Amino acid sequence: MRVLSGVQPSGTLHLGNYLGAMKQHIELQTQQECYIFIANYHSLTTVHDAERLRALTRDVALDYLAMGLDPQRAVFFRQSDVPEVCELAWILSTVTGMGLFERGTSYKDKVARGLPSSVGLFFYPALMAADILIYRSHVVPVGRDQTQHVEFTRDMATYFNERYRSVFILPEARFNEAPVVPGVDGQKMSKSYGNAIDLFGDPKPTAKRIMGIKTDSTPVDQPKDPSTCTVFALLRLLADPAETQEWERRYRAGGMGYGDAKKRLAELYELRFGPHREARASWASRPDDVEDVLRSGAARARATAQAVMHDVREACGIVVARR
Ligand code: ADP
Ligand code: TRP
């Protein structure tokens, strides 16, 4: 069974990205054959500065390697090292009606938030479907916001299989237990909302950001409701169950200030991510090693992609010179 997922290098990765996506990618590498890639073609829909895109692409690689992605186990690569995905995206678009793309909620949301409505942004689901289908992926671990993209992928695979012959496997989305991780303002944590806690921020500014999380004005001595508190929502994602229970009790009992919970959250954050800073710095000081990891991942991924593209071209009558 093959597991596949991608992360866009469209900003600095944060706690929401880690708990919603990265963590399960890294956990799955010991259980299944995992393909994890950096979706840099997708990021061209939002990042239009070459230097920045190169830096963000490198940063995502460093973040994954630092957090424990093992290149001996998982196939880790850059999307652009398998350019066949763009060819497949085109072919899939020729069997898909406009109506499917027009239903795309991600496109509608992004345009509503003020992103320019490029054809690429509209076409995004075809490229994502190609990413998934070209590796004959069975399972796609993603956050809930990606559900529709995986449904579209199944639709596009079916359109192709029915029009020509059965080449593609229909993938299933896989969600993890992490709810939507809130940011420092209580809204969904997101790179684009300015409310993120970065994975590898420096300890002092990160602690300051945690101390600045928005809370209500219940006085210290009064009981507090953990279920509506952003600090508690984050704390329970990083603390063990026994500690979480103890905080819940302290909230309800009163006599505890939000500052105490924030201080502990900053500590837990440091305990979880601090030890990986060194690994990140070590990978960062060896760019050639990082490049080797991505290159050998790409060679493995591309071999799979080329075999599938052979079947796709055969099925639909696209002739290319023997290579
Ligand atoms: P952002 O919203 O910061 O731009 P992306 O859309 O690039 O993040 O998301 C990358 C992955 O991280 C997706 O699988 C997404 O579901 C997950 N993710 C992003 N933000 C959160 C969050 N606040 N809580 C849980 N998962 C998240
Ligand atoms: N759209 C995904 C996101 O924003 C990233 C992505 C691109 C992806 N291609 C993929 C995820 C293929 C899973 C499978 O998070």
Q: What is the pLDDT of residues 19-67, one digit of tens each?
A: 988 999 999 999 999 999 999 999 999 999 999 999 999 999 999 999 9
Same structural domain, 174 and 236: no
In a domain, 321, yes or no: no
Question: Which of 191, 204, 224, 262 is labelled catalytic?
Answer: 191
What is this structure's pTM? Answer: 0.94
In a domain, 38, yes or no: yes
Q: Token digits for 102?
A: 């027009």
| Gap from CA of 116 to ligand 2 centroid (Å) | 20
Of 67, 69, 71, nearest to 272 by C-alpha is 67
The answer to whether 256 and 220 are in contact (CB under 8 A) is: yes
Asked if pLDDT for residue 177 goes beyond 80, the answer is no
Same structural domain, 25 and 130: yes
Same structural domain, 77 and 158: yes
What's the domain range around 79?
2-181+286-316
Report the nearest atom of ligand 1 relative to the CA of 189: 23
CATH number of the domain within which 267 lies: 1.10.240.10
The three-class DSSP label of residue 113 is: coil
Per DSSP, 254 falls in state S
Q: What confidence tier does 145 reach under pLDDT thresholds 50, 70, 90? A: confident
CATH number of the domain within which 15 lies: 3.40.50.620
Domain count of the fold of the chain: 2
Q: Token digits for 166?
A: 């059965």
CA dist., res. 276 & res. 93, Å (int) = 42
CA distances to 134, 154, 177, 195, 225 from 198, rounded to whole Å, are 32, 33, 21, 10, 27
Q: Which residues are near ligand 1 (CB < 6 Å)?
A: 7-8, 10, 16-17, 19-21, 142-143, 145-146, 178, 180-181, 188-192
Q: What is the mean pLDDT of residues 206-228?
A: 94
Q: How far is CA 133 from the centre of its chain?
A: 18
| Gap from CA of 147 to ligand 1 centroid (Å) | 12
Q: Is the CB of 8 under 6 A from ligand 2?
A: yes
| Gap from CA of 149 to ligand 2 centroid (Å) | 8
The three-class DSSP label of residue 82 is: coil
Same structural domain, 72 and 114: yes
Task: List residues bridging with 2 in a β-sheet.
Answer: 33
Per DSSP, 166 falls in state -
- Residue 302: what pLDDT? 98
Question: CB-based burial of residue 5 (10 Å sphere; 0-12 exposed, 13-18 middle, 19+ buried)?
Answer: buried
